[in-house]
Structure formats: structure tokens, C-alpha cells
Chains A and B, each alone.
Chain A
Amino acid sequence: MGDMIKGNIAIAEAAVRAGVKLYAGYPITPSTEIMEYLSKRLPEVGASFVQAESELAGINMVMGAAACGVRALTASSGPGISLKQEGISCISDEELACVVINVVRYGNGLGTLYSAQCDYHRETRGGGNGDYRCIVLCPGSIQEAVDLMATAYELAEKYRIVTVMMTEGALGQMMEPCELPDFIEPEKHPWGFDGKYTYKKIGIFDRNSMDEAVELNKKHETIKAEEQRWEEEGLEDADYVFVAFGLPGRSVQGAVKELRAEGHKVGFIRPITTWPFPEKAFENINKDVKGLISVEANATGQLVDDVALTIKKTIKDRNVSTYCLPCVYGIPTIKFTKEGLHKIMSGEIKEAY
């Protein structure tokens, strides 16, 4: 077991070890430690750090580095990621690869500093203008976040897509024991600019959007088929299945353990990728399941939509009720989840779908 380390610092060091060549970003709580750490660390390993004048400039600097085929990173939180959407959409359109970390905080507009998962819809639907998706990784522990950092780049480069590492304020700020990965020295990608026009990229006015749409759909279908990641337990005989990711996903595991011990047939799915959504996990659910329950840190329920759509695709002969337990912000306690189940079983909480 490794030393105790703060989430944001661990993720930043994992990015260094994954071979990041440029970080550009703007300070925002609760993600700031990532850039503070990298401002010292990246120059030590011969990489670049730029404190950008804005979130917009930060993501566009990342775009410039990504266009050169090297690993580039930016991090922010809620409203900062909103500002970056122009760049994320353009990077996606150019089929460049990069990683964006969103240390999610609660709220609309400027939001608050509370830990939350309220950016679920935006991250899993692309987020900016147009018709694209990002691969979204949702670690449930600092160790998992660290282990997913190199994976985030491998996926981004394999599919030439943006990978969003969606953590939460609490995961960024808390400390856990963590083993850091070894250093890797990634190759510069052949499609990166070298100044010699080796890769014959064409200009936007010469592109064929009809053909590109076919390719984009193929790419998305491949990612959906190949890259779903999740953790599951107790699905085969479950009356109720909880679905939760990140820290709520971790908390729900504890609730499931206690509920099982009390004689309730419950299970859980913890999506590690929220796009692609782990639809394959739903195939392992008991066909007589009574209900699906999303547990999420937001006000209105977002994950619940994907849970309902996926169970509809999986169990087609009847409507399986889908419930939502939103805890607004923070991390739902085991007690919260257990009480939620009892309220659902007693009819106090009605189904969302």
C-alpha cells in the first residue's frame, strides 16, 4: 500500500508519469492543486506549464499541443469546464486527442464549492455545440483515478477523441493511500504536426461532412462495444439494483453489503465509464428485478435517465421502474441509501420512469 496522498496531487503526478508534455489552465476550486503541483513538476521533467489568462485560452493551448501529437492536459471545475466547451468541441471536430479533468463542484452558474456530480449530462453528451461525445472516466477512489490516467490517454489516442476524467470535489481534496504508476514515455503521434506536412491533413472547407458522419458513428459504435467499464455485484438475484458512480458509487457498495446482511436482495452497478455507458452490465441483472435506483450527487437526477433508457433496452417485455435518490451535493451516506430503499419499497418515493 502506498503513501497517503491528496487526490488532486495524485492525479497530477499520474499525468506527469503518463508523459504529459503540456498543461495549460486557470485556477478554480476544487481543482487548483492540480495546476499548482504541475507548475513545479512539469518543468522538472522537461515539459511545459502555462498559466493561461482564461479557461478558453487554456483549452486552446491544449488544442495547439494536441495538434502536434503530444499528450496535453487541462483541468478545471464546473463553470470553468463550461468555458472550455468551445475548445473541446473543436478538438473533437479535429479528431485530436487530449485529456480534460473535471473536478466537479455543485451548482449552476458560478456554483458552489461543494463536491457533486451535477455535470453528468454535460460530460456524457459532449458538452459543446455539435454532434460528438467524449469518453468519460469516473474513478471511485484516488487509486483508481491514478490507474486510469494513462488509460485516459491511451483511449484518447486510440480513438482520437477527448477523454474527460470526471472526478468530484471530495475526491480531489481527500487523502488516501495510493501506489503511483511507473513513468512512461509515449511516442509522438504520426498525425501530429511536425512542420513538414508529413501528415496530409485537409482544411475544413475541403471536408465531407456526410462521409465523416458515417465514420463518426462507426467510431462511436466501436467505443460503445469495446470500452465499457464498470464494477458490479449481486445482480443475478437482485430485486433492486443501485446504479451510482464515483464516490457515491463507492458508498453504495457499503449500503449493498449491509442491506444484503439484513436479507434484502440488492445489487449494484458502478459505472467507471459513463460514456460509453456500461449497458453490458445491465444484461447481468435478474430478469425479474423490481426496480433500478440511481444514487447521485445532484438536485434533479441525471444518471437516472441513462439507467432508465438502458433497462428499457435490456428488459423489453415489461416496464421496470427506475427510481432516483439525488443527494444534491456531498457523498450519500450508507444510511441515506438504505433509507432510500425503504422509502421506495413503501411507496413513499415514486418511480422517475
Chain B
Amino acid sequence: MAKARKVPAIIDNPMSFCPGCGHGIVIRLITECLEELGQDQNLIFALGVGCSSLLGGGLVTDRLHCPHGRASAVATGMKRVQPENTIVAYQGDGDAYSIGIAETINAAYRNENFTMIAINNTNYGMTGGQMSWTTMPGQVTTTSPLGRDCEITGNPLKFPELVASQFDVAFAARGAVTTPKNVNKLKKYIKNGLEAQLNGEGYSVIEVLSPCPTNWKLSPLNSMKRIEEELIPYYPLGVFKERKEN
């Protein structure tokens, strides 16, 4: 018999994401995890600039729209003065990894005790699909019209691998929203990241490969297919830094 699933209580309003966007799935997973961990009424979001900020319109929770790229610095300030609250930085790849790479990487470097969730859709979504640091080699965007030339723009950035290998963080993983199996795995990663924070283990990051059909100019289904066939081989899914107690 089918089980009716309750919408998490802090989701209150419709969010204005494009059809086929992955943000909604991730936000649903985050809010489910928070509710299951008893943290949905003990929660502050530090929101990025870009599509990630649209979370702010959908949830009834403490949330601050941070300057572009600075969510990890803002989250640091929040967590330092109110360590009893669960702090989640919710950002996109352009926000967290390009303009905000300094704040993002330094929060990981200090092993700040909060959770960062980065939506990697390989472009700047809200401004109409410009190249970001996670854009794939050869990918056509509005600022790489002939396809991304990594010779002059650098190679796509793998942030969870970077912090897992270089810094003493609590938990680092990458998931995707392509299949029910991947969605379930992603939920486990998010829950692990939040649990790490609740236990005071330090910084946790979960990157999510997420479709952007509007800017990729693909159907929602073909967007999922692109993640499976093109992105996952470059951006492997899994845990790069396991929690110490697990």
C-alpha cells in the first residue's frame, strides 16, 4: 500500500524554480532531514545569491540572504554566536565556488561547525547560464559560446575532493538527484552532514549535481541523462571524507 508522505512543516509557500530544476528536490531532502533530526525549529539558513536564494521564498524559517558568495562567512558568524542553532549555508556553484571561493574554502579550512550544501548545475542559473568554475570542458554557455576552453579558463573545480584531501573537515560528499536511488543516497549524505554538525564534529559539505534544463536548453529528462552520462564520470558521487565515528 502506498504510504502518504507529509510535506515538512517549514515548507510553506510554492518556490519559483523552473520546471525540471533540481533545487526543489534538494530543499525537500534538507527539510525532511532537519525534521527527522528535530532541528527544523532550531535552524538558520545562510542563503547564497542566485537560484539558491529562492529557498527563502518557500520556507518559513530563519534565513538570511547573504551577499554574493559570502554565505560561509555569514554562517561562521551565526554559528560562533549561537552554536546551539543548526546553521546551513545553501549556495550554488557560482556563488560558493567562484565569487565566494575564498569564504567557502576558508570556512572549510577553519573546520567551522556548520553544513554547506552546494548545488552544482555547472552554470550561473539565475543570470541566464554563464560559465562557472564547474562548467564542463566544451560546455556552451552564454560566456563560453564556443564551448568552455579549459586551456584559458581552468578545469572544472571539485570542491568536496579538495577539502577532503587538504583539510581536516568532518564530512564531504557529492550526490545527485537523477534517480530514486541517488536521491535516497543524497538524503543520507545530507543527514550525515547535519549529524556531524549536531555532534560538533566540524565542517560538512554536500555538493549536489542538479539539472538546469532552462539554461542547458535540454528537456528535464535529457538534463537528468546529461548528469548521468556526462557529469557523474567527471564529478564522481560518494563520500570523500567519512565521519570519524562512522
If A53-B102, A57-B102, A60-B74 touch, whether A65 touches B62 (CB-CB below 8 Å) is no
Partner-binding segment picked from B77-85, B187-195, B206-214, B231-239? B77-85
Tell yes or no: B25 within 8 A of A by CB.
no
B242 → chain A closest CB, angstroms:
27
Write the A49-65 contact mask toward B (1 if CB under 8 angstroms, else 0).
Answer: 01011101110111111
A297 → chain B closest CB, angstroms:
32
B76 → chain A closest CB, angstroms:
5
Contacting pair A53 B80 (CB below 8 A)? no
Residues of A within 8 A of B73 (CB): 52, 56-58, 60-61, 63-64
Partner-binding segment picked from A113-121, A199-207, A333-341? A199-207
Tell yes or no: A90 within 8 A of B by CB.
yes
Tell yes or no: A48 within 8 A of B by CB.
yes
Tell yes or no: A67 within 8 A of B by CB.
yes
B103 is contacted by which of A57, A195, A203 (Cβ under 8 Å)? A57
If A21-B81, A194-B85 touch, whether A63 touches B43 (CB-CB below 8 Å) is no
Write the A31-75 contact mask toward B (1 if CB under 8 angstroms, else 0).
Answer: 000000000000000001010111011101111111110101000
Within the assembled complex, what's the spacing in Å between the Cα atoms of A174 and B236?
58
Name the residue among B73, B74, B77, B109 with the largest chain A CB count within 10 angstroms.
B77
Q: Which residue from chain B places its CB closest to the CB of A70 in the assembled complex?
A: B81
A24 → chain B closest CB, angstroms:
6
Q: Which residue from chain B places its CB closest to the CB of A24 in the assembled complex?
A: B77
If A64-B76, A195-B43, A203-B57 touch, whether A72 touches B81 (CB-CB below 8 Å) is yes
Q: Which residue from chain A places its CB closest to the CB of B74 in the assembled complex?
A: A64
If A193-B78, A204-B65 touch, whether A60 touches B57 (CB-CB below 8 Å) is no
Write the B47-68 contact mask toward A (1 if CB under 8 angstroms, else 0).
Answer: 0000001101100111111110
Number of interface residues of B (CB under 8 A): 36
Tell yes or no: B222 within 8 A of A by CB.
no
Within the assembled complex, what's the spacing in Å between the Cα atoms of A65 and B46?
12
Within the assembled complex, what's the spacing in Å between the Cα atoms of A66 and B66?
12
Contacting pair A63 B77 (CB below 8 A)? yes
Tell yes or no: A305 within 8 A of B by CB.
no
Residues of A within 8 A of B41 (CB): 195-197
Residues of A within 8 A of B10 (CB): 197
A14 → chain B closest CB, angstroms:
20
Contacting pair B64 A65 (CB below 8 A)? no
Q: What are 7 of the A-B contact pairs (CB < 8 Å)? A: A24-B77, A50-B77, A61-B73, A64-B77, A193-B85, A201-B62, A204-B56
Name the 3 nearest CB pairs between A and B, nearest first.
A64-B77, A60-B73, A61-B77
- Residues of A at the B interface (CB closer than 8 Å) are 21-22, 24, 48, 50, 52-54, 56-58, 60-68, 70, 72, 86-87, 90, 94, 193-197, 199, 201, 203-206
- Residues of B at the A interface (CB closer than 8 Å) are 10, 41-44, 46, 53-54, 56-57, 60-67, 70, 73-82, 84-86, 102-103, 106, 109
